Amino acid sequence: MNFQQAVQTCLRKYVDFSGRASRPEYWWFFLAYVILTFVARLIHEMAYVAVVLALILPLMAAGARRLHDVGKTAWLLLIGLVPVVGFLVLLYFTVQPSQPESNAYGPPPEPSPAGA
């Protein structure tokens, strides 16, 4: 999955907290979020607020699907509220490889065709 596919997939699944998201899907979308918020911050504080508000739900949904992909519950996103430690725990979970078999959250995400 490339950058464009990941962003399109995450925006299409705007508030879909079910299913699974591969590592590339999550991390490409996270990179897009960081870039957009950085650029919006340079433009104006209100632009920054607008971007954050527009992308917070798809970012949370992608995070939930990413946790599902490694066999964890989406409620673990709340660990991120714990300063420093919560971030590190979530980082650890999100960098784990996908479970190759089906789990309680569904079948593994389909790999995207090369060049598509």
> Could you state, in order of their start, the residue ranges of all structural domains in the chain?
3-94
Position 114 scores a pLDDT of: 52
Q: What pLDDT does 112 receive?
A: 59
Confidence (pLDDT) at 115: 46
Give CA–CA dist 34/7, Å, rounded.
12
Threshold 0.75, pTM exceeds? yes
CA separation for the pair 106, 50 (Å, rounded): 33
Query: Is residue 13 helix, strand or coil?
Result: coil
Tokens of residue 10, six digits: 């995450």
Closest CA to 61 of 51, 106, 69: 69
CB 66 within 8 A of CB 26: yes
Q: Per residue of the chain (116 residues), give pLDDT as tens.
A: 899 999 999 999 999 999 999 999 999 999 999 999 999 999 999 999 999 999 999 999 999 999 999 999 999 999 999 999 999 999 999 999 998 898 888 888 876 555 44
pLDDT score at 116: 45
Scanning the structure block, which residue is given the tokens 């065709």? 113
Residue 6, judged by CB atoms within 10 A of its CB (0-12, 13-18, 19+), counts as buried
